[in-house]
Amino acid sequence: MGQTSESPGSGSHATLSLVSASQTWKPGQELLLAFQLDIEAGWHTYWRGISDTGQPPQFTLTLPDGFVAKDPIWPAPHREVSSAIDALDHIYEQQLTVVVPVTTPATPQTGAQPVLFKASGVWLVCKTACVPEKGEATLTLSAGDGAIAPKPAAAVQTTIARSGRPWSQAPKGTQLTHELGAQSGTCSITVPGATWLAFYPDQGCLPMPLLFKEGEAKGAALRLTLAPQDDPQATSVAGLLEVRGLGDGAQFFQVNERVKAEPAHPPKGAESEPQKE
């Protein structure tokens, strides 16, 4: 296994690498590759979901013939609140590992010859100011038994663990309720026994204007203010829920609950205009 990485220059604050959870790829067996962004201390980049001031990295993977990439897997981020301006960003510090499962051909067209994978990316890194950067990386793997590469595999498994399990696997008794009117609404999440909850909104999530102060809470309940908008794509409470206090470490669950706004009711006694045909 061989890899190279290329940063934008000596003044860059993050470096892109392409890594594999296995030392070789096994024909017909899923391969776990990952974009790995190593970030300089004190700097950060952004989650794929919603933030107030930053944009998520954009990565591209070029595969050999016969290899097919599935959807990328992102780990849950951390919250960064700027109280002076009531802004909330969802960020990564030190390292970001975005996993890409890859389907491999059952019969290698190249035989035992190594195959080359290429990655490129553009990202924003911020400290007191933000800097756009870009980079490229390559990874060469030979066909083999798919033996584990311990260090990359650990980073890959951490990402998968923090990407969230299906909502159907949430702890027993977990409840999610919501109501949305013409002007505002609420979403309430209760996880019995939890000591801390946090919600990270994904793209397509209904606006949550007070998330900077409501997005995390001690205890077993989280109440989020909703605000309807005209964007037809934003019709759900969508994102990741982090739960602490139920055993060792944090647990993460995927939320995707469709919310339909209730129509505004006319004042009592008011007559509505007949609908025109």
120 and 66 housed in the same domain: yes
Last residue of a domain, one of 130, 162, 194: 162
Question: How many CA atoms lie less than 13 Å away from 20 in the CB half-sphere?
Answer: 26
- Asked whether the CA dihedral 31, 117, 19, 242 is positive or negative, the reply is negative
Which residue is associated with the tokens 């793997």? 141
Please write the tens of the pLDDT for every residue from 27-57.
899 999 999 999 999 999 999 999 999 899 9
Do 196 and 155 belong together in one domain?
Answer: no
264 within domain boundaries: no
Average pLDDT rounded to a whole number, residues 151-172: 96
Lowest mean pLDDT among 102-111, 153-162, 201-210, 259-268: 259-268
* Structural domains in the chain (count): 2
Q: What value does the mean pLDDT take over residues 178-189?
A: 88
Based on the fold, state whether residues 144 and 54 are members of the same structural domain.
Answer: yes
User: Do 156 and 181 sit in the same domain of this protein?
Assistant: no
Write down the pLDDT at residue 72.
98
| Predicted local confidence at residue 272, as pLDDT | 42
Write out pLDDT tens, residues 77-136. Answer: 999 998 888 899 999 999 999 999 999 998 766 566 789 999 999 999 999 899 999 999
Q: What percent of the chain has pLDDT over 90?
A: 70
Both tokens of 23, joined, read: 């030392």
Same domain, residue pair 139 and 34: yes
Beta carbons within 10 angstroms of residue 255's beta carbon: 21
Q: Same structural domain for residues 98 and 174?
A: no
- Has residue 267 been placed in a domain? no
Domain range for 30 is 2-162
Q: In this structure, is residue 135 part of a structural domain?
A: yes
Order of strands across the sheet with 221-226? 175-180, 185-190, 221-226
What would you measure as the largest C-alpha separation in the chain, in angstroms?
80
pLDDT at 69: 97
Are residues 155 and 213 both part of a single domain? no
Please give the pLDDT value at position 60.
97
d(CA 255, CA 238) in angstroms, rounded, equals 5
- Domain membership flag for residue 249: yes
Q: Supply the mean pLDDT for the chain.
A: 88
Closest of 141, 150, 175 to residue 243, by C-alpha: 175
Say which residue, 232 or 7, is predicted with more confidence. 232
Same domain, 181 and 238: yes
Same domain for 114 and 58?
yes
% of the chain exceeding 70 in pLDDT: 86
Can you give the pLDDT at residue 261?
Answer: 64
Q: Look up the CATH number of the domain holding residue 58.
A: 2.60.40
Higher-pLDDT residue of 5, 93: 93
